[in-house]
Structure 1
């Protein structure tokens, strides 16, 4: 089974602060943590204002199931309102190699 890296990049809506957005995203924790096949998640942002939400899934079926269920969750409207819609890209890529600290 090949793990999948879900990578979503975006910018925040004009009136949303970093602190506000992180708090909004914390509201997604239970959903993601309890989704079938969840392995790891990281939310990061660059100095250019581009955010990256990275989630590692056990396989493509789990990644696609979570992506399909996400918009139906109570928190989804707040998440989407905080993101500039024309800046969003989403990918599901097979992981071929990883390395961690020894």
Structure 2
């Protein structure tokens, strides 16, 4: 069953465009992960971000999440995020409409 990863956060430093630009290595890393489908990064009116990543399975989402902590924690984009407000969750998709 397909799954999504939902991450909400604020930046600790930098602006939105700097953050988006700094995500190129994260995007490249995600594309190499088994089960990766797509990523969507949005900014709310209050300046906070919502990062939604779609995966082929819940297991793939969890595996990539664990690897990201090990492999990408020191990337520029990750160091721009305020860790105190970061929230991450995973969910199995029950309904999709295109």
Residues 1-102 of structure 1: pairs in structure 2 closer than 5 A: 2-13=1-12, 15-73=13-71, 75-77=72-74, 78-100=76-98
The TM-score normalised by the length of structure 2 is 0.91
What is the distance in 2 between the residues matched to 1:88 and 1:51? Answer: 10
Alignment length (residue pairs): 97
1:48 alignment partner, SS class:
coil
When the two chains are superposed, the root-mean-square deviation of aligned CA atoms in Å is 1.1
Q: Which has the larger radius of gyration?
A: 1
Structure 2, unaligned runs of 5 or more: none
Structure 1, unaligned runs of 5 or more: none
